[in-house]
Amino acid sequence: MKLVSWIFFVLLLLLALGFALNNRQTTTLNLWPAGVVIEAPLYLFSLGTFFAGFVLGALTGWIGHIPHRMEARRLRRDVGKLREKIEDMSSALPDAAENTEIRRSKSFFRRTRS
């Protein structure tokens, strides 16, 4: 999957480079309410808009995943606490675990004989 994403990225980069090389003429951008006039090559406006959209989409996705990351963090803490509890219980009763294994194996042999 990583290879496919890298190939897609390289193709997109080559496409953007080809677009920039073919659209070098100067364009005027007039931002009417502010009264600002900007003159720059056409590819800067196009690629700048593309980049701004990419950043906005990434930011929106990151904000949308905040609840999932918080839940994952909470679950990791819970798993850590449960592991500690299991370690405490197993260290407190080491003989009980061995006896349980012996009982299980004996009951298994009883069932297989009949």
Are 25 and 74 in the same domain?
Answer: no
Are 88 and 33 in the same domain?
Answer: no
Q: For the whole model, what pTM was predicted?
A: 0.57
- Domain region containing 110: 65-114
Token digits of residue 90:
């197993």
End position of a domain, from candidates 44, 64, 84: 64
Are 12 and 49 in the same domain?
Answer: yes
Place of tokens 């906005």: 56
Are 113 and 89 in the same domain?
Answer: yes
The Cα-based distances of 55 to 48, 51, 114 in angstroms read 11, 6, 69
Q: How does pLDDT run along the chain (114 residues), one tens digit per residue?
A: 889 999 998 998 899 889 888 988 999 999 888 889 999 999 899 889 989 999 999 999 999 999 999 999 999 999 999 999 999 888 887 665 566 665 666 555 555 555
Residues in the chain: 114
Are 53 and 92 in the same domain?
Answer: no
**Number of domains within the chain:** 2
